Amino acid sequence: MSPMPSVSYSITIRLEFAARSAAVSDITGRIEQHGATVTALDVAASGPERMRADITVLTGGHDHAMEVVDSLKELEGVELGKVSDRTFLAHLGGKLTVESKVPIRHRDDLSMVYTPGVARVVKAIAENPEDARRLTIKRNTVAVVSDGSAILGLGDLGPLAAMPVMEGKAALFKRFANIDAFPICLDAHSVEDIVAHVKAIAPVFAGINLEDISAPRCFEIEDRLRAELDIPVFHDDQHGTAIVVVAALRNALRVVEKDIETARIVLSGAGAAGTAILRLLRAAGARDIVVTDIHGIVHEYREQLEGRLPWIAEVTNPRELTGTLHDAIEGADVFIGVSAGNILSAEDVATMADRSIVFAMANPTPEIDPSEAAKHAEVVATGRSDFANQINNVLAFPGVFRGLLDAHATRVSDRMLLAAAKALADVVSAEELNPTYIVPSVFHEGVTKAVASAVEQVAREEAGTVDSITGAMSAVYADEITLEG
């Protein structure tokens, strides 16, 4: 069976063929016979005998695309031209540009925009550094920083390969929150080096969004930067994910009529995303959480508990389970996966409690195929855009930074993250809520605004009480916050 056609593997094929109506249906019929989907046919040139057209086709991947192209070569009278991968076409020359906001038409403009006029603005900022937010791009600019060590679910592919993702994040910042974000891919490896480089570029920015930096270094880098910078620092893979998961869980629990305080939750993955999800779940009131990782259930007596694992063992697993994910899942109300593909079976899901919830979020392959999970679970979500209930950080980070920037915030707190999760969940009204709609679409108009105002409000409330709640992340572990509602 051919893999499911997806727009991310769409191709445009240039073809020349005889100018007769059956020729077009022969071509589209052949494509669909191979399980691909034709979405457009644009005529590029037409003559009395021959036509030239570009056909856009959704395929299930590289091999499937090649299979479709090869099958068209067999059609009589059809000549194949260039085949373009539309995802690569969208990346030609990169996805961003920098534009001047001021006109530069003649010497007068030059004298103000640049020298000598600019010198007075320079002196004003030197005398009053706060003016940088008023007189430069700082107030609305965020650095999207990565070292490329944990790109999506692909691993350590380095800073150059991280560029398309960071450019993409910057494009999303602009599209959804009108924030000017800039991709900064660092050829730096140690915690010390990364912290030093981010600190050195920080004057330009009103916030730092860390992306795709591997665990456990991401924890220390964020802790250090939060303690040493006067602008908010937010590791999206941790906190963006946690906000969306808690929002989605809040709504999923409404669907299945269960409470977060009593729900039995299994969290597969104790890395960057898993650790942050655990923290926010606890802050949201969850109490019965069992965490599993590549070595099975995290418990106090397990060997080689390092990094954040001793803390995880301490605050989870109230029924003192040992063993594997399969042991943990029995009787659970909720499964949340941020670990690896295909580690959960439909039989495992069948052992869960009635009206169970499965969030299988590993990318690009989820912990369980969503259609398999749906055989036994009432609510199923994944990180994928080709299935209902897509859980992705893009629902959170644009609004979070909009709120932080509007409040001129200097820090990020767990109260802000929880407020963001609640606001995001509330975008789905009681009338809209159902098992296949627990999170809104990112294109839903209210998403960024709801998240931004919730974060801005908490940021303003907390202004002046800096350090009393979080400060460095390690302090949060000792002093967790629970919010109502």
Ligand X SMILES: NC(=O)c1ccc[n+]([C@@H]2O[C@H](COP(=O)([O-])OP(=O)(O)OC[C@H]3O[C@@H](n4cnc5c(N)ncnc54)[C@H](O)[C@@H]3O)[C@@H](O)[C@H]2O)c1
- Tell me which residues are annotated as active site: 114, 169
Q: Which is nearer to ligand X, 215 or 328 (CB)?
A: 215
Q: Which is nearer to ligand X, 27 or 357 (CB)?
A: 357
Tokens 């749906």, residue?
374
Give the binding site for ligand X (CB under 6 A): 150, 152-153, 215, 237, 241, 268-274, 293-294, 338-340, 343, 361-363, 383, 391-393
Measure the CA–CA gap between 374 and 383, rounded to whole angstroms: 15
End-to-end CA distance of the chain: 47
339 binds, among ligand X, ligand LMR, none (CB under 5 to 8 A by kind): ligand X
Q: Give me the least distance between CB of 314 and ligand X, in Å please.
A: 17
455 binds, among ligand LMR, ligand X, none (CB under 5 to 8 A by kind): none
State which amino acid sits at residue 465. T
Exactly one of 292, 393, 448, 470 binds ligand LMR (CB under 6 A); that residue is 393
Q: By CB under 6 A, how many residues form the interface with ligand LMR?
A: 7
Told to check if 153 binds ligand LMR by CB under 6 A, we report yes
Are β-strands 6-18 and 79-85 bridged in parallel, bridged antiparallel, or unpaired?
Answer: antiparallel
Measure the CA–CA gap between 133 and 206, rounded to whole angstroms: 8
Q: How far is it between the farthest Cα atoms of the chain?
A: 80
Q: Which is nearer to ligand LMR, 26 or 212 (CB)?
A: 212
Told to check if 237 binds ligand LMR by CB under 6 A, we report yes
Told to check if 363 binds ligand LMR by CB under 6 A, we report yes
269 binds, among ligand X, ligand LMR, none (CB under 5 to 8 A by kind): ligand X
> Sheet harboring 6-18: ordered strands across?
37-46, 50-59, 6-18, 79-85
DSSP characters for 255-281? HHT--TTT-EEEEE--SHHHHHHHHHH
With beta carbons less than 8 A apart as the criterion, state whether 6 and 52 touch.
Answer: no
Q: Give me the least distance between CB of 463 and ligand LMR, in Å please.
A: 29
Q: Which is nearer to ligand X, 27 or 370 (CB)?
A: 370
57 binds, among ligand X, ligand LMR, none (CB under 5 to 8 A by kind): none
144 binds, among ligand LMR, ligand X, none (CB under 5 to 8 A by kind): none
Measure the CA–CA gap between 143 and 152, rounded to whole angstroms: 18
Measure the CA–CA gap between 203 and 304, rounded to whole angstroms: 41
Measure the CA–CA gap between 316 and 312, rounded to whole angstroms: 6
The residues binding ligand LMR (CB under 6 A) are 152-153, 237, 363, 383, 392-393
